[in-house]
Homo-oligomer: A and B are copies of this chain.
Amino acid sequence: MQKCPVEITVELIEGKWKTELLRHLLGGTKRFNELRRLMPEVTQRVMTNQLREMERDGLVERTVYAEIPPKVEYRLTELGRSLEPMLLEMLRWGEAYVRAAEAAGCDRSRNP
């Protein structure tokens, strides 16, 4: 059976930190430690993983400069930038959801 494109889309952005990374990268090219400073809660290993997955998926480009000290830049590919309108849709839906869920007293806490 052929996998639904919606599912494919979800898989591309469902890493724990990917949407935040995408948000920062939509603002322009960033160096590795720049991203680390923007997201201090993420460990180095996990951040590398998430970025490499997005690279493999064709959303992110990685440029290594042969310098001492090393310098590595991450930027969105055209495909990555093409996510923006969809992410905005998701943002607006999410905002509406939060309002609706609060109004309905829906408890979204994961620890009952």
Contacts and interface: CB of A to CB of B under 8 A. Distances in A.
State the oligomeric state as a number of copies.
Answer: 2
Contact of A94 (B5, B56, B91): B5
Contact of A4 (B6, B8, B19, B108): B19
A91 B5 contact: yes
A76 B19 CA distance: 26
Interface string A89-111: 11111111110110010111000
B56 A87 contact: no
Dominant secondary structure at the A interface: helix
Contacts of A7: 19-20, 94
Given A14-B10, A89-B86, A100-B79, A5 B58 contact: no
Given A79-B100, A96-B82, A101-B58, A87 B19 contact: no
